Chain A
Amino acid sequence: MAVLTAVVGIGQTKYEAKRLDVSMAGLIREAAERALADAECTWRDIDAVIIGKAPDLFEGVMMPELFLNDAIGGAYKPMLRVHTAGSVGGSTGIVAASMVQSGIHDRVLCVAYEKQSESNATWALSISLPFSLASVAGAGGYFAPLVRGYMRRSGAPDDTGIRVAVKDRQNALRNPLAHLQMKDISFEMVANSPMLWDPIRHLETCPSSDGACAMVMEKESLASRRSGKVAWIHATEMRSEPTMFSGRDQVMPQATLDNAANLYKKAGITKPREELDCAEIYVPFSWFEPMWMEGMLITERNQGWKMTYEGATAFDGDFPVNMSGGVLSSNPIGASGLIRFAEAARQVRGLADQHQIDGAKKALGHAYGGGSQYFSTWIVSSQKP
């Protein structure tokens, strides 16, 4: 059966629009070195390397992990490259964990990154085949109609998304690594920002960032000997469903509901809202906070917006969400999922500095991708299960 595994080191780069001072290799090495330093390890101590990033067309390199591998100590070691659309960062963490949980490796390093400044993501995402209908206006154009569907269904007030955006941007001010630092953020500022894909406003969307996130994971017998704080992995889960099929609920896909139910079952959680201390959720457009509060079974169907409205998801609320500022504040696409997982681990290790939730013991990390069809999640805790 699965070997109990812990996160023992985390490293992140500063998230910025353009990291012109480093190459792709330099970027991921920066995150990996910080994770090793946090874990008090050297390259030699790593058994295998797991690399994740979003589509290769973003940076114009086919299977870039091949040329990047030795920059993060992967020479003559096993190396895997994960790619599961927007959820890839989360999946990278899960695959890395499984390498230890299976008993195959003692200690692994995973790194996820995107260097959007070396790429043209909008181009990469909108290559339209000659015979297909090119009518989807980017990710915003795809998700905006679904947000409208959620609003219709739940009766959520129109300003719910604004409130999420203000909260996450305020949280980002606590996190020096966050890309967007908007000191004068206000309700009016978000409300008055241009409507890009109605009902999604400019300040309700995520930026394009460069950045990398790395983690070191270790088996119990090693992690237990550490004096520093570690994050024990209680459960991981992945679920996928096809993009388009008849009767598909695109607003609240079955895959998210199944993912959540199985995750909690594995973690022995029956009342997630009470048993989890905080959550770091993949919210690239502000409305996805209430949607995934429902999708992760934190609250009842069509009630997610109330958590935002009542301040439950605020930093000082009873269920803080996106303490780091979230995807809305930093979005190196391929890394974004792993950053969510890492933030959950930082919280339960008590090492989240200014964005630390007091006494956080159990936290949820979440990522999703594709047309709301790929989900990867984990639960970590300061205590062993």
Chain B
Amino acid sequence: MREVAVVGFTQSPSLRREPDRNEIEILIPVIEALRKQTGLSSKDFDFVCSGSSDYLAGQSFAFVSGLDAVGAWPPVCESHVEMDGAWALYEAWVKIQMGYADTALVYGFGKPSMGDLPLTMALQLDPYVMMPLWPDAISIAGLQARHCLDAGLMKPEDMAAAAVRDRGHAKSNPYAQVKGDYTVAQILAEPFLVNPLRRSDCAPISDGASAIVLAAGDRARKLCDRPAWIRGIDHICEPMDFGVRDLGRSRSTEIAAEKAGAGRDKIDVAELSAPFTHQEILVERALGLSAKTKVNPSGGALAGNPLMAVGLSRIGECATRIWSGEADRAVAHATSGPCLQQNLVCVLEGN
């Protein structure tokens, strides 16, 4: 395996609604800042890969205009996944592993505020038997949360505590959307949004973009004093059907974490992109995190949830903490699909 590191990371602030910028106008300054941060120009990227969703954008081929932000001239070696940018990073990492690239630009962007996000997400479900019922994304997550509570896997207090922690951490994150000092009692006093979920159990709807630069070996050492080396990265997809999987655990996160080697050593920092508090608890357990791990120092997805970029940003948030020396070993998580269907785990180290 080649040594590959995250050597650059930039993001836009997560906003409930970008008032007047379109997706590309959100993305361009993010990539411009990344070029400045790394000192690289578009010509220096051997490979470019992005993640975005046509349904969030409400039009076909929405990713095509993303190329405008790259400055794709001369023509670039480029690919796109209809997935979170974390999977675009995986594809780029593979390209570097096979020796087709030494550096790669990866980005993800989404502007879900343009549509009705919970309803749009209903279109992810089986189109023949589930989607015609239009179950919205929060209700689907609510079913899972109800199962977790009734099976005794967690208590409402545990869920509220996750929100309290993430929002508290987010106070020091200028890019976070939901932040501040809350108490468990305060959150439990909230009315239900979709029983048993309260508003504070749900990640916000966020517009935003983020971008990362990957580099191999000596190239990475030249670009960064303390590169965040990817020591393992893996992802697993479960069947979608809720009747054939255990909704009370995240089996795919467990498998991906094991294959990525997450549990082999202590984990200083973990960044999770679970969009609901009960899911965050399930992911924490699947990763086998202990009290020694600082979870979501940035606030995680519950503090800012720019779909298609949020998973990629978790990898970036881990990397920045390795660059600074705050962490030696970090684990980033990304998810996709209803009820944590598909999960990616990335292990980063400073040494």
Contacts and interface: CB of A to CB of B under 8 A. Distances in A.
Given A2-B100, A67-B126, A127 B58 contact: yes
B79 A91 contact: yes
B76 A70 contact: no
12 contacts: A2-B100, A24-B127, A49-B237, A62-B120, A62-B123, A70-B239, A76-B237, A76-B251, A85-B64, A95-B94, A240-B67, A245-B73
Given A66-B341, A78-B234, A103-B1, A55 B80 contact: no
Interface string A281-313: 000000000000000000000000000000000
Contacts of A95: 79, 91, 94
B77 to A, nearest CB: 5
A63 B237 contact: no
Interface residues of B, number: 61
Interface in A197-226: none
B194 interface: no
A80 B90 contact: yes
B241 A104 contact: no
A134 interface: no
B99 interface: yes
Given A67-B124, A80-B87, A241-B73, A61 B237 contact: no
Interface in B139-153: none
Interface in A63-85: 63-67, 69-70, 74-85
B65 A243 contact: yes
B83 interface: yes
B60 interface: yes
B94 A102 contact: yes
Contact of A258 (B74, B236, B239, B240): B74
Interface in A9-64: 23-24, 49, 55-64
Contacts of B127: 24, 59-61, 64, 67
Interface of B: 1, 48, 53-55, 58-61, 63-65, 67-68, 72-83, 87, 90-91, 94-95, 97-100, 120-121, 123-128, 131, 234-241, 244, 251-252, 255, 336-338, 341-342
A79 B79 contact: no
Nearest to B48: A240
Contact of A63 (B64, B128, B238, B337): B337
A284 to B, nearest CB: 15
Nearest to B255: A76
Interface of A: 1-3, 23-24, 49, 55-67, 69-70, 74-85, 91, 94-95, 98-99, 101-104, 124-125, 127, 129, 237-243, 245, 253-255, 258-259, 370, 373-374
Contacts of B252: 76
Given A67-B127, A70-B239, A76-B252, A240 B75 contact: yes
A103 B82 CA distance: 24
A59 B60 CA distance: 12
Nearest to A100: B98
A62 B121 contact: yes
Residue among B77, B95, B98, B123 having the largest count of chain A Cβ atoms under 10 Å? B98
Given A59-B127, A62-B55, 19 more contacts: A2-B98, A56-B53, A57-B54, A57-B55, A62-B120, A63-B55, A69-B239, A76-B252, A77-B237, A82-B80, A83-B63, A95-B79, A98-B98, A102-B94, A102-B95, A243-B67, A245-B73, A255-B75, A258-B75
